Structure 1
Amino acid sequence: MTKQTVLITSATGRIGKELVARLGAVGKFNVRACYFSDDKAQSLLSLGAHEVVKFDLSDPATWDQALDSVSAVYSASLDPMLKGHLAFCKELGHRSDQIKHVVRVSCMGADTNTAAYIADQHASRAGAGIPLMLQHYWWGEKALIDEGLNVTALRNNFFMNHLLKTDCETIDREGWFSNPLGYVRNSFVATRDIAEAAAVVLIEGPERHANKFYDLTGPVPQSMSEIAEDLGRAMGKTIEYRAQSMVDFEADFGATRAEFFEYLTNGFYTRCSPDFYNLTGRAPTSYYEYLTTKGASGETGLEELWQGNLWKKGEDAMKDAAKA
């Protein structure tokens, strides 16, 4: 019997690498993993991919080869790549007879905007609409749904591995980090858990998971002082959390990201969802467990902390995407 081919976009990312390793070990699929940089191709084969293919959301010339004979797609993209993703959704729609299932990485609150259905009313930021990043996540889901595809959306809490990446230098040299989240507790989610949920959903297929939307969180909400304690314990040194004003945070990263972080300070991402447990039969990974244990791709969360990061202080990574 010929195995169905699953295409894993963003395969060299945190979730993608874990998913490649998990699906490669199962043996149900022919795993086709996408890479953007040529030097990443071999590592995907080493993780368990059966095929690798160059893929670029901004270059439609790469899509045909990537999608040849594919029946399931894991869809993930960096926030600034929204325009390319929306165009790719139309391509998938043109192949709806071929594409039986799409699993899309999204964000908690993508359809309800967390607080309300009123798009021009932010919960606490006067004169602002709901966070543009949440609108974008919903557009990313809706574009697939509108094409008539069988969609499963994994709506995730804020990623553990993104939480402190912008502070690696001060953590390493001076033992502190800063952001505006303070004592508000958020149930941050491990990217390896998102990959595990994606693997379950793809293996069990659209018959069980089509048109389902799962909120994925960590097992316990944590404040920044508690995050600092876990990180310090994992690193074997004292780590300090230093509070930052939202004004300073916005100056560092721009209004689009600041609007989203202000939602985190409102406590909308505090709750712990049962969806991961219901999918996998186990509790989600805690932050300390994430830092100190290896995922399917062989890296600990602490090792991942020092790897590449989209968000850099002094740069508004969402400046162009905000115009979409």
Structure 2
Amino acid sequence: MSEPSIAVTGCTGKLGGRVARQLAGKGVPQRLIVRDEKRAPRLPGAGVHVATYQDRGALSRALEGMRTVLFVSAKESPTRLDEHFAFIETAASVGVQTLVYTSFQGAAPHATFTFARDHWATEQKLREQRFASVILRDSLYLDFLPMLAGEDGIIRGPAGNGRVAAVAQSDIADVATAVLLHPEPHRGQTYSLTGPSALSFDDIAQVLTRRLGKPIRYYAESIDEAYRSRAHYGAPQWQVDAWVSTYTAIASGEMSAVTSDVERVTGHPPLGLEDLPLSPA
């Protein structure tokens, strides 16, 4: 087997793990970059390097010789941008040619969803570097929607009548895999990855009621209600702001655009909520 030229980060998570397994299934050698070697998937043709995004020495060794890298965004935290910038600078310093970055739909400096601002800043940093980038602006994960209902079957959030074009993680992984395998035609592109339609939370509740076999409904909270209903988690303010702003971004229409980018890159249409594999209640 030839030496790998593709590296995958985030492979202990769902998205990066899907990509790593797809590459392995195609017989493609790869390098997995992980923080914890014990959690790394054991895949044929995959070597494992341990490094965090901010450990420039270990990261340089992990990225050395890699031409194309899947850069899965870091865990949400107040230091996330520092981690992203360190990763990008290190990748540039060792000669990576193409970084494939998982961003967010509607990334902008004044986006309603607070973390979309971090994604925008990361995109700008990528554009400043010497290598090419491919930006995958993922909508809200379709896989996340069934988990939004509480034990009482109610989805609560200040999304009003807004709509979201949520995308399945499997479709994002298919796009990322296609780009990693043949990066040349995608370099410099920004793809907005969405599902086949934009759904309101009333729509989502109706589909989940039918598919899960139990009643699900949506309650449109006010912003004050949203903060109060999440206070019992004891999360830091920046985290609660992000939770609430996910819904207010939907209310403002910032996640409603539907694109054909999944099909354009992969050749197959994206999954909708009706098609997403679910475990019955």
Q: Supply the distance in 2 between the matched residues of 1:249 and 1:55 (Cα, whole angstroms).
A: 37
Asked if the contact 2:64–2:94 (Cα under 8 Å) also holds between the matched residues in 1, the reply is no
SS at match of 1:87: helix
- 2:204 maps to 227
SS at match of 1:286: coil
- 2:153 maps to 175
- 1:9 maps to 9
Fraction of identical pairs, as percent: 23
Asked if the contact 1:197–1:279 (Cα under 8 Å) also holds between the matched residues in 2, the reply is yes
SS at match of 1:229: helix
Q: Supply the distance in 1 between the matched residues of 2:48 and 2:195 (Cα, whole angstroms).
A: 31
1:100 matched to 2:82: no
- 1:24 maps to 24
Q: Supply the distance in 1 between the matched residues of 2:223 and 2:45 (Cα, whole angstroms).
A: 42
The one-character-per-residue Cα deviations of 1:134-165 (angstroms, maximum 9, x if unpaired) are: 22101112222211111000011111233454
- Of 178-187 and 80-89, deviating more is 178-187
SS at match of 1:135: helix
Asked if the contact 2:53–2:83 (Cα under 8 Å) also holds between the matched residues in 1, the reply is yes
Q: Structure 1 residue 65: deviation in Å? A: 3.4
Asked if the contact 2:60–2:94 (Cα under 8 Å) also holds between the matched residues in 1, the reply is no
Asked if the contact 1:234–1:291 (Cα under 8 Å) also holds between the matched residues in 2, the reply is no
Query: What does 1:251-262 correspond to in 2, within 5 Å?
Result: 251=228, 252=230, 253-262=239-248
Q: Supply the distance in 2 between the matched residues of 1:201 and 1:237 (Cα, whole angstroms).
A: 39
Q: Supply the distance in 2 between the matched residues of 1:238 and 1:165 (Cα, whole angstroms).
A: 14
Question: Taking structure 1 as reference, are residues 232 and 33 closer, same or farther at Cα in structure 2, changes over 3 Å only?
Answer: farther
Q: Structure 1 residue 176: deviation in Å? A: 2.6
- 1:159 maps to 141
Q: Structure 1 residue 219: deviation in Å? A: 0.5
Q: Which amino acid is the alignment partner of residue 62 of structure 1?
A: A
Asked if the contact 1:10–1:35 (Cα under 8 Å) also holds between the matched residues in 2, the reply is yes
1:145 matched to 2:127: yes
SS at match of 1:263: helix
Given the alignment, which residue of 41, 50, 53 partners 1:54? Answer: 50
Q: Supply the distance in 2 between the matched residues of 1:289 and 1:145 (Cα, whole angstroms).
A: 36
Q: Which amino acid is the alignment partner of residue 46 of structure 2?
A: H
Between the two proteins, the alignment pairs up a number of residues equal to: 269
Q: Structure 1 residue 260: deviation in Å? A: 4.5
Task: Please tell me the root mean square deviation across aligned C-alpha atoms, in Å.
Answer: 2.5
Asked if the contact 1:21–1:49 (Cα under 8 Å) also holds between the matched residues in 2, the reply is no
Q: Structure 1 residue 95: deviation in Å? A: 1.7
- 2:168 maps to 190
Question: Taking structure 1 as reference, are residues 266 and 49 closer, same or farther at Cα in structure 2, changes over 3 Å only?
Answer: farther
1:240 matched to 2:217: yes
Greater than 6 Å deviation, 4+ residue runs: none
1:284 matched to 2:270: yes
TM-score (norm 1): 0.75
Where in structure 2 are there 5+ consecutive unaligned residues? 231-238
Where in structure 1 are there 5+ consecutive unaligned residues? 114-118, 123-129, 293-301, 307-324
Given the alignment, which residue of 66, 69, 74 partners 1:70? Answer: 66
Q: Structure 1 residue 282: deviation in Å? A: 1.6
Q: Structure 1 residue 131: deviation in Å? A: 4.6
SS at match of 2:190: strand
Question: Taking structure 1 as reference, are residues 143 and 183 closer, same or farther at Cα in structure 2, changes over 3 Å only?
Answer: same
SS at match of 2:269: coil
Q: Structure 1 residue 208: deviation in Å? A: 0.6
Asked if the contact 1:20–1:49 (Cα under 8 Å) also holds between the matched residues in 2, the reply is no
The one-character-per-residue Cα deviations of 1:244-271 (angstroms, maximum 9, x if unpaired) are: 2222324535334434532210122212
